[in-house]
Structure 1
């Protein structure tokens, strides 16, 4: 039985709407990607690295790296993404335990099936037989508290969303990584003294929530150089 003309028109219209919707989504994602990738903030080098401290405001999702307690001592003020309510970022005073520019997670990542070319998120312990496991990249890892917690490159959302780590924008992470060293104090609290002054003027990147996972990129070594060249503000 042949479909009636009205039915054909409805089907064609639906297909056209789906196609338009896909193009609109793709176009929006491209715009968000471009805006997110261009985000950057200035940072100054420390004159005395031994005096540098990192202070995290959990309530404001802000990171301050400073060389003292005064307004003019701030070297970098930037947005971060902290732990979600079910997996909060630990509070307290810690010290940087380790640094690793090319760090990858120990337990979770991607399973790649060579036969199908498909990727899927998984844990190392549950990687399907016949698949190749690649750990999740955590570029510019700055470890504090324990091996389970660190500051690293990952999408910075406008709401707490991490599993406890402190996520930094990919163009901010290289600067933070260069400013701290093993032993640098990391002070994490609900608020920080600069929240009501400097914190109110710190811009945030566009919300990257609509951007899809990119497993092939995550599994490539190129992920560790996916950022703007490191530059300092004089």
Structure 2
């Protein structure tokens, strides 16, 4: 049975992992996430390689899931260290980065900017916060560092 791999579930809670398939990606192929059910969910950890821009969901030496991610740019790096997810939000929007709606126009803008219009934060679906204002979330995965410090996952890996 095909189920959507759940990165949130990989971080905590009951674990259900199977192979899955989604729509085509930029290169024309289909992005696939394969994940495996752990033998002991209490031994599952998530490791992030900032240099390789990959996430590894591990149970001891056994890799349950490996996916590409986007990490922070040099001026706004992703925090290093050991963290625990302490907050999750399925439909979060950024409180800092987004755009202003000015009638029929949409203008990129930070939340605190003096640009007129109604502020709307960029979507950060399936938010898993590991440090204040830093988290794993759904979004476009670029091949080079591109975020303001968060860890961005493909839509198939995040939900």
TM beyond 0.5: yes
Give the equivalent residue in structure 2 for 1:136: 122
Give the equivalent residue in structure 2 for 1:107: 96
Secondary structure at the aligned position of 1:162 is classed as coil
Choose from 29, 32, 35 the match for 1:43: 35
Question: By how many angstroms is 1:60 displaced?
Answer: 0.9
Give the equivalent residue in structure 1 for 2:83: 94
- Pairwise CA RMSD: 2.0
Q: Check whether the contact 1:103–1:138 (CA below 8 A) recurs between aligned residues.
A: yes
Choose from 69, 82, 96 the match for 1:80: 69
Secondary structure at the aligned position of 1:80 is classed as strand
Deviations 1:89-108 (A, max 9, x none): 11111111111111111122
Shift in CA distance, 61/120, structure 1 to aligned 2, threshold 3 Å: same
More helix by share: 1
Runs of 5+ consecutive residues of structure 1 not aligned to the other structure? 1-30, 175-234
Q: Check whether the contact 2:91–2:123 (CA below 8 A) recurs between aligned residues.
A: yes
Rounded Cα–Cα distance in structure 1 between residues aligned with 2:54 and 2:120: 30
Rounded Cα–Cα distance in structure 2 between residues aligned with 1:123 and 1:66: 36
Deviations 1:142-186 (A, max 9, x none): 11122x110111211111111111111111111xxxxxxxxxxxx
Structure with the greater relative contact order (CA < 8 A, sep ≥ 6): 1 or 2? 1
1:57 and 2:43 are equivalent in the alignment: no
Rounded Cα–Cα distance in structure 1 between residues aligned with 2:41 and 2:89: 18
Runs of 5+ consecutive residues of structure 2 not aligned to the other structure? 1-23
Question: By how many angstroms is 1:120 displaced?
Answer: 0.7
More strand by share: 2
Rounded Cα–Cα distance in structure 1 between residues aligned with 2:142 and 2:123: 18
Rounded Cα–Cα distance in structure 2 between residues aligned with 1:127 and 1:137: 21
Question: By how many angstroms is 1:33 displaced?
Answer: 4.3
Question: By how many angstroms is 1:56 displaced?
Answer: 0.5
Number of positions where the alignment pairs a residue of Structure 1 with one of Structure 2: 136
1:159 and 2:144 are equivalent in the alignment: yes
Structure with the greater alpha carbon radius of gyration: 1
